[in-house]
Structure 1
């Protein structure tokens, strides 16, 4: 860990980020508290998670199971809701189904069925978002917009999954991605009960995302500071 990383004030960053979200809500004419902040932990030190959870952050996002297994120790009482936001390998669906409240990166029927079958019966259904490759980037996972409706119908048939909405990572400079995601949400709502969550927006574009209708933003660097390399892909 570098000296700059050690000296990063995560609590000050959290306060500043909450102010950014509140200002963006106000500028967009949205009610205060209408946007959920998810802290994208990735390979951050566990102590930073402890600090922001104690300060009031109630949603934590993880990209890799190996990091999540370590980070969950920061929240033994499960004060926060835990979101899996990265690509899902078939051999990791079991622990994800057991430990996470949300999965934001669902884009394959095989993974959906495994999560459904492996969700413990004593837990509520997993909240899931369908990942959309809204900018059509070859380097990114996700459904094409044309496949969203058909996949949503499949997910709605799985009783241990609860379809909540959509997630996307727009390409830098793709201004059309934000209204396009809002339009996809509008198409889903009339026939998909419970769809209420649009997860777009990260450190650099949260204001644009909130203005377009995002109800959830996933923030890493602006909250936790410089990010170490992930422990696994």
Structure 2
């Protein structure tokens, strides 16, 4: 498994997608999804220039953050999984970003539990854009009320939206979901001009071209960088 080579390949895919969309590749942040992968893989990716890492499981993510803390690396940790209210303190204390915020109750707990000596926790509202019962996230109509609530919490910084559209080989359906997210993102920017709404996290290995076409500023890629996951480990 050549992680450095894989990272270069993914960056090339992003550059190609940006050229097709007439965007600059500097507008896109690559989030390396490191769930189930050992800290050694994260260090290899770091040495290849990767700085942003995403974790889906709270305990696993915190263990990695703590293991790497002594190295004093400029890592940026994103929590990208569903979050239960009894795990909010761990995310508030250890992560830099929380991408899957979908309830005011969770927002309140994160705000209360964020250490005062740390910068506000960057948060994204997760939209269930394909209306899948198996996925977390809110309905588009709930976005602005939740955003208004978050903006008044001093230890959170609302940065934008996140979505995991339904997997499909239907390009028209794929584009429709991403286009809807782009419109919601623009709506949020217009509604809250006083907030730093600059992040639209959507697109993974199979659909990042389409996501970038419709305004994604962050794409989340795991297997294409680190290889297949072993969930038994």
TM range (shorter): over 0.9
In 1, Cα distance between equivalents of 2:68 and 2:204? 23
Aligned partner of 1:165 in structure 2 is 160
- 28, 31, 54: which one pairs with 1:38? 31
Counterpart contact for 2:62–2:90, Cα < 8 Å: no
Are residue 89 (structure 1) and residue 91 (structure 2) matched?
A: no
**1:111 Cα shift?**
0.7
Aligned partner of 1:185 in structure 2 is 185
Are residue 16 (structure 1) and residue 9 (structure 2) matched?
A: yes
**1:230 Cα shift?**
6.9
**1:78 Cα shift?**
3.8
**TM-score normalised by the chain length of structure 2:** 0.93
- 216, 219, 223: which one pairs with 2:218? 216
Aligned partner of 1:105 in structure 2 is 100
Counterpart contact for 1:85–1:105, Cα < 8 Å: yes
Gaps of 5+ in 2: none
Report the 3-state secondary structure (helix = DSSP H, G, I; strand = E; otherwise coil) of the residue aligned with 2:26.
coil
- 90, 107, 116: which one pairs with 2:111? 116
In 2, Cα distance between equivalents of 1:28 and 1:46? 35
In 2, Cα distance between equivalents of 1:180 and 1:100? 29
Flag the 1:230–1:150 CA change in 2: closer, same or farther, 3 A. Answer: farther
In 2, Cα distance between equivalents of 1:77 and 1:65? 21
**1:71 Cα shift?**
2.1
RMSD over aligned Cα, in angstroms? 1.3
Counterpart contact for 1:49–1:74, Cα < 8 Å: no
Instruction: Give the number of equivalent residue pairs.
Output: 224
In 2, Cα distance between equivalents of 1:80 and 1:186? 29
- 126, 130, 135: which one pairs with 1:135? 130
In 1, Cα distance between equivalents of 2:110 and 2:73? 20
**1:36 Cα shift?**
0.2
In 2, Cα distance between equivalents of 1:15 and 1:226? 18
In 2, Cα distance between equivalents of 1:185 and 1:45? 34
Aligned partner of 1:5 in structure 2 is none
In 2, Cα distance between equivalents of 1:32 and 1:132? 25
**TM-score normalised by the chain length of structure 1:** 0.93
Counterpart contact for 1:42–1:230, Cα < 8 Å: no
**1:74 Cα shift?**
3.7
- 188, 203, 206: which one pairs with 2:205? 203
Gaps of 5+ in 1: 1-7
